């Protein structure tokens, strides 16, 4: 079952890549290479770079170590932000899920932050935490924390009464009930939220790396490529971010299925 899905995903990726290559080849020499950028004309723009020019650009980015170091730096930021944000979010979510009074206290704040765009917090975080790593990482962590807080909260609230009653009548105290009943039942919801947050963290990083924008970083690579503009670089940077999102999603998915071995999986 799992392999069928992997095969289908690969087929879909190859098909889209193939179609793109075909379109680029047809457009090669036919599409305009001079475009108006609002204030001036830019020459030698490849609107749809061919596979060949993408390969050349890729080789350059790899050989110059730009891509690898950018990936390393951005991944590190996302990973730290994801871990910090998840820990904070899950702890708060468990707390508000267990204590009804805290819920009503936390509720408006969760809604408030849930729909606050990362970009809106950016100036504030720069003022508070400076231009360094911390403002970037904390921006990601904030976004991640809000999502995982909701996941953990709903997970705890969704624990069926029957299990808690059964555990209590078997003599389990609050701590054992929390560890062996609440946590396992809330687990799927928590990890589903981590999966969403992992994707969101990558959305945030591109924005976060506008702070004190400098190489190496994937966000700044994209910004730079847009300034020239160099479409092959943009596409490769986008594809790299996309691949990393897929990788993080896969990791979250593995974690999720490990934690839900006991559940029946349909299909």
Partner 1 sequence: MTDSAPAPVLEAVGVSYSYPGPTPTQALDQLSLEVKDNEFLALLGPVGCGKTTLLRIFAGFLRPTKGAVRCGGATIAGPGWQRGYVLQEQAIFPWMRVRENVEFGLLAKGVEPSARRAVSDELLGLIGLSSFEAAFPRELSAGMSKMVEVARVLATDPSILLLDEPFGALDAQTRAHMQDALARLWERRRKTVLFVTHDAEEALYLADRIVVLSQRPGRIKAQFSVDLPRPRSFETRFSSGFLALKRQVWEATGTEPVRRDHQA
72 touches 240 (CB < 8 A): no
Nearer to partner 1, 60 or 163 (CB): 163
Residue 262 DSSP class: T
Instruction: Give the tokens for residue 157.
Output: 């609230």
Q: Which residues bind partner 1 (CB under 8 A)?
A: 162-163, 165-173, 176, 180-181, 184-185, 187, 261-264
Phi-psi region of 99 (alpha: psi -120 to 50; beta: other; left: phi over 0): beta
Nearer to partner 1, 178 or 248 (CB): 178
Nearer to partner 1, 181 or 225 (CB): 181
The single residue listed with the structure tokens 């400076």 is 130
**Residue 36: how many CA atoms within 13 Å on its side-chain side?**
2
Nearer to partner 1, 176 or 247 (CB): 176
Closest separation between CB of residue 166 and partner 1, Å? Answer: 4
CA-angle at 48, arms to 44 and 49, nearest 5°: 70
Give the Cα separation of 248 and 241 in Å (integer).
10
Closest separation between CB of residue 96 and partner 1, Å? Answer: 23
Closest separation between CB of residue 138 and partner 1, Å? Answer: 34
Closest separation between CB of residue 1 and partner 1, Å? Answer: 16
């Amino acid at each position: 079952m799992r392999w069928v899905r992997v095969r289908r995903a690969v087929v879909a990726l190859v098909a889209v890549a193939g179609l793109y290559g075909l379109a680029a080849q047809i457009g090669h020499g036919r599409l305009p290479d001079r475009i108006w950028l609002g204030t001036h004309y830019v020459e030698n723009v490849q609107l749809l770079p061919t596979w060949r020019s993408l390969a050349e650009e890729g080789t350059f980015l790899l050989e110059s170590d730009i891509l690898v170091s950018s990936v390393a730096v951005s991944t590190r930021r996302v990973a730290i932000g994801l871990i910090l944000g998840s820990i904070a979010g899950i702890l708060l979510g468990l707390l508000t899920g267990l204590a009804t009074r805290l819920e009503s206290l936390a509720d408006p704040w969760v809604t408030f932050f849930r729909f606050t765009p990362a970009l809106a917090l950016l100036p504030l975080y720069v003022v508070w935490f400076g231009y360094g790593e911390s403002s970037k990482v904390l921006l990601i962590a904030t976004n991640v924390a809000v999502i995982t807080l909701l996941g953990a909260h709903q997970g705890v609230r969704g624990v069926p009464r029957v299990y808690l009653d059964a555990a209590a009548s078997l003599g389990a105290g609050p701590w054992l009930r929390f560890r062996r009943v609440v946590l396992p039942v809330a687990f799927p919801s928590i990890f589903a939220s981590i999966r969403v947050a992992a994707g969101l963290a990558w959305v945030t990083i591109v924005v976060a790396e506008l702070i004190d924008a400098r190489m190496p970083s994937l966000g700044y690579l994209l910004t730079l490529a847009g300034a020239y503009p160099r479409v092959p670089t943009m596409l490769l940077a986008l594809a790299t971010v996309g691949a990393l999102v897929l990788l993080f999603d896969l990791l979250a998915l593995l974690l999720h299925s490990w934690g839900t071995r006991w559940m029946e999986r349909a299909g």
